[in-house]
Amino acid sequence: MKEIESKEIQKWKDQYPLLSKLISMEEIFWFNPNIEKFQTGIKKSPLIQEDVRDAEERLKRFAPYIAKVFPETKKMNGIIESPLVDIPSMKQSLERNYQQPILGELFLKCDSHLPISGSIKARGGIYEVLKHAEELALQHQLLTVHDDYSILDSDRFRTFFSQYSIAVGSTGNLGLSIGIMSAKLGFNVTVHMSADAKQWKKELLRSKNVNVIEYEADYSKAVEEGRIQADMDPTCYFVDDENSHDLFLGYAVAAVRLKKQLEELKITIDENNPLFVYLPCGVGGGPGGIAFGLKVLYKDYVHCFFAEPTHSPCMLLGLMTGLHDRISVQDIGIDNITDADGLAVGRPSGFVGKTIEPFLSGNYTVCDEQLYMLLKELVDTEAIRLEPSALAGMIGPIKLFKEGTDYLQKHNLTKKMNKATHIIWGTGGNMVPEEMMAEYYRKGLKLTLNEQ
C-alpha cells in the first residue's frame, strides 16, 4: 500500500479527534462508537456459538493424546488451561501508584503459564495444528472421531504426517506453539520469524527440529514471505495468523473454560455484576477470539477492551478509521518498534477487526516504559513473572476509571462497579529465560526509581 497522502491524514485528524495523539504516540483510550447490543451484533458475525462448541469438542478429542505426549498436561487430563488468580496486592499497588481506586475485584488470567508454550498462543496455535492433523488423518481413514486419539503418538502416524509440512509467520510466540505442536505430531514445520523475534525462541525451536527462517523485516513481511513459500508447496499448510478462523476459534474456547473457573470461585456475572476484560492485542486473533467467546456466553454483561503499544496501535487505527487491514501504523508515520514483541504488529487482521467491531467496548494504548514498570510491580507484589507484552492489560482498570466515566454512565454501570470483576489477560512469560526476565525487572526498577 502506498504512503497515505498527508492531505488525507489531515482530513482524518479533523474527523477523528484522537488521531493526532495516536500519531504522536501518546497514550490514548478510544471507546468504540460502533458497539452494539449482542443480539444485533451477532447477526453480522461470520462465526456463531456452534463453531466455538465444535472447537471445544475437538480439543476434548485430542486431550488423551496431549496428556500422553506433554506430561505436564497430565494432571489436567490433556486440557491445556491456565489458572485464574486474584491479585489483591497488585490492585493496592496500582491504586496507590496511580491515585485511583479500582472498584470491584481484580484477577489475572495466567496464560503466561499455559503448558507447552507459555503464552496465549498455546490456545489458537495448537488448536489449528490439531485441527489440520485431524482432517488429514480422517481423510486418509487412519482415524475416526470415536477413536482414542492417543494412538496418534506412534511411528505410524508420525510417518504419515512427515509427508506434510506446516508453515507460519510469527514474532515469536505463535512460532513456538505451531512449531512445538507440529514437530511433536511429525510434521515438517517452518517458522518465518520477524526481526524482533527473540534469539532464545529461535534456538528453542531449532532444538526441537523446527526450521527457522529469519527476516530483517517486521511481522507482516515474515507472514508474506511464509505465505509465498508455502504456496509453492502443495503439501504445505500455511497457518494464516491474519485471516484464520481456526486460530480465532481455538482462542474462543478460553471463554468456556473461564466461565467454569468463575463459577468455581462463586463469582456471578449478570446484569448487576458486570465483567471487564483487558486483553493485549497484536494482529488481533488472540484477544479477538477470547472476546468473541466471552460475548457469546455473557452477552451485554461483559465489556472487553484491547490494549496495544503506543508504537503499534494497529487494531485501534483500523477500527477508528474503519479501514481495518487497509491501513498500517507505518502509513501514518508510526514506527512499529516496541519491546512488546508479541504486539509488534503494524497492520491488523481485517477478519478480526470486522468480526469484533460490534462487540468491542474500546481500545487503549500503553507505552513500553509503563509495561516494564508494571512488570516489576507484579513481581514485587504477587511474585508473578510476565513478559512485557503481557502487562498491557494491567493498566486497563486504572484507565477505565480515569477516562471511561461516559462509557460507564451510558451503559448504566456506574452504580454497579463495586460489584464488578476485572480480569487482566496475562498473555505470556513463563518460557522467558531467567536472565532475560531479570533484565526486564531491572529496566522496570530503573524506570520506577526515575519516576519517583
Ligand X SMILES: *Cc1c(COP(=O)(O)O)cnc(C)c1O
Binding site for ligand X (CB under 6 A): 119-121, 173, 280-287, 342-343, 387, 389-390, 427-428
Name the residue nearer to ligand X (CB basis): 252 or 334. 252
Name the residue nearer to ligand X (CB basis): 173 or 182. 173
Name the residue nearer to ligand X (CB basis): 73 or 427. 427
Q: Residue 348 Cβ, how far from ligand X at the closest point, in Å?
A: 8
Q: Residue 95 Cβ, how far from ligand X at the closest point, in Å?
A: 25
Name the residue nearer to ligand X (CB basis): 179 or 280. 280
Q: Residue 57 Cβ, how far from ligand X at the closest point, in Å?
A: 23
Full DSSP string of 63-91: HHHHHHH-GGGGGGTT-----EEE-HHHH
Q: Residue 310 Cβ, how far from ligand X at the closest point, in Å?
A: 16
Q: Residue 449 Cβ, how far from ligand X at the closest point, in Å?
A: 26
Q: Whats the size of the chain, residue-wise?
A: 452
Q: Residue 426 Cβ, how far from ligand X at the closest point, in Å?
A: 9
Full DSSP string of 227-241: HHHHHT-TTEEEE-T
Q: Residue 1 Cβ, how far from ligand X at the closest point, in Å?
A: 20
Largest CA distance in the chain: 66
State the Cα–Cα distance between residues 385 and 362, nearest whole angstrom.
27
CA dist list (Å): 255 to 219, 316, 343, 372, 380: 27, 23, 21, 28, 29
Radius of gyration of the chain (CA): 21
Name the residue nearer to ligand X (CB basis): 188 or 244. 244
> Which residue matches cell numbers 492489560?
393
State the Cα–Cα distance between residues 147 and 232, nearest whole angstrom.
34
Name the residue nearer to ligand X (CB basis): 421 or 430. 430
Name the residue nearer to ligand X (CB basis): 119 or 188. 119
Sheet (strand 188-193) strand order:
211-214, 188-193, 165-170, 236-239
- Residue 57 C-alpha cell reads as 469438542
Name the residue nearer to ligand X (CB basis): 104 or 428. 428
Instruction: Please list the alpha-helical segments (H only) found in 108-212.
Output: 121-139, 155-161, 173-185, 199-207
Q: Residue 267 Cβ, how far from ligand X at the closest point, in Å?
A: 24
Q: Residue 401 Cβ, how far from ligand X at the closest point, in Å?
A: 23
Non-local CB neighbours of 78 within 8 Å, separated by 6+ positions:
62, 63, 64, 65, 66, 67, 68, 70
Contact (Cβ atoms closer than 8 angstroms) between residue 351 and residue 324: no
State the Cα–Cα distance between residues 380 and 368, nearest whole angstrom.
19
Non-local CB neighbours of 391 within 8 Å, separated by 6+ positions:
280, 370, 371, 374, 375, 378
Name the residue nearer to ligand X (CB basis): 121 or 347. 121
